Amino acid sequence: MTFHATVLTLYPEMFPGPLGVSLAGRAREEGKWALDCVQIRDFAIDRHRTVDDTPAGGGAGMVLRVDVLAAAVDHARGVNREAPVIAMTPRGKPLTQARVRELAAGPGVIILCGRFEGFDERIFPGRDVEEVSVGDIVLSGGEPAAIMLLDACIRLLPGVMGAASSGAEESFEQGLLEYPHYTRPQEWEGRTIPEVLRSGDHAKIAAWRKSQSEIDTRSRRPDLWERHEDARVQPASGARRKKKDMDQ
Ligand code: SAH
């Protein structure tokens, strides 16, 4: 099955961009995923092809019109029938590897890229659109965020990464950051590779990696660590865990 991505944007020339090279580019050539870009402006209803208007209540900037967005989303749903519709916005739910895995296992995704001040809020309930953020930063447009989301999904598609890496040990997959990596040379500017990694003792290496992953998660990402600890103390079906999930 081909993962079908439809991107709604005012700048279709930004695609495939980075998704046209390396892993994602090859996977697209092999038909593992398909991309179509839709120009939002094609759904404007006036002769000036206007897509935005001034914010209700006043203030700076311009807002994408709900009627134009809805027509573009309806068109995309006609082409990419089963896929969920996701709008990229800093007001959305932070993107997680778990959500990426769900999306990658599905039929594809329709992504709405914002510009200017963003979207008329009514598009979200009006067209059942999920709001997703790629971090606590503000981009000038949703396109780089869409590329991030697609890149994360594409590398998980069957046959894309190859047998070398299942991705199962990667950061976030176990709720932790991954352990640090090293490669030759053994000594560089006086810094050496941890001795255990050269021991050839696979059990010892696995134990070291697990402990490094825990130490680093604890110090760098106390938020992840807390969630990880909660899940350990309280099995997945526990009431406390359910409440935590709802809080997210
Ligand atoms: N006024 C908005 C920001 C608009 S930025 C606010 O303060 O919330 C313009 C567009 O860039 C947005 O509509 C969105 O599509 C995209 N964008 C910016 N930051 C983003 C982020 N962190 N995650 C996802 N999309 C983002």
Which helix (H) or strand (E) segment holds residue 95: the answer is none
CB 84, CB 106: distance < 8 Å: yes
Residue 119 has pLDDT above 60, yes or no: yes
19 and 104 assigned to the same domain: yes
**Burial (Cβ within 10 Å: 0-12, 13-18, ≥19) of residue 173:** middle
Per-residue model confidence (pLDDT) at position 22 = 97
Say how many domains are in the chain.
Answer: 2
Q: Are 215 and 147 members of one domain? A: no
Is any atom of ligand 1 closer than 6 Å to the C-beta of 146? no
Is residue 225 domain-shared with residue 142, that is, in the same domain?
no
Residue 30, phi then psi, degrees to nearest 5: -80, 0
Domain that holds residue 207: 187-247
- 16 upstream amide cis, omega within 30 of 0: yes
Same domain, 94 and 145: yes
In the Cβ-directed half-sphere of 199, how many Cα atoms lie within 13 Å? 12
pLDDT in tens, 34-69: 999 999 999 999 999 999 999 999 999 999 999 999
- Estimate the crossing angle of helix 202-220 against helix 222-233, to 10 degrees: 120
Same domain (yes/no): 25, 137: yes
Q: How far is CA 93 from the centre of its chain?
A: 11
Is residue 69 in contact with ligand 1, taking CB distance under 6 Å?
no
Chain centre distance of CA 15: 16
Whose alpha carbon is nearest atom 18 of ligand 1?
139
Are 26 and 93 contained in the same domain? yes
The three-class DSSP label of residue 110 is: strand
With a pLDDT cut of 70, the percent of the chain lying above it is 92
Label each residue of 12-65 as H, E or C: HHHCCHHHHCHHHHHHHHCCCEEEEEEEHHHHCCCCCCCCEECCCCCCCCCEEC
- Is residue 63 a part of any domain in this protein? yes
CA of 153 to the centre of ligand 1 (A): 20
Query: Cα(8)–Cα(112) distance, rounded to whole angstroms?
Result: 5
pLDDT over threshold 80, residue 167 = no
Amino acid identity for residue 37 in this structure: C
**Residue 104 pLDDT > 80:** yes
Identify whether 171 is part of a domain.
Answer: no
162 pLDDT tier (thresholds 50, 70, 90): confident
pLDDT over threshold 50, residue 6: yes
Residue whose entry in the numeric block shows the structure tokens 């120009």: 39
Q: Which of 89, 124, 147 to mutate to test the pocket of ligand 1 (most atoms within 8 A of CB)?
A: 89
Ligand 1 contact via 120 beta carbon (within 6 Å): no
182-218 pLDDT per residue, tens: 999 999 999 999 999 999 999 999 999 999 999 999 9
Please state whether beta strands 85-94 and 187-188 pair in parallel, antiparallel, or not at all (unpaired): unpaired
Q: Are residues 41 and 130 in the same domain?
A: yes
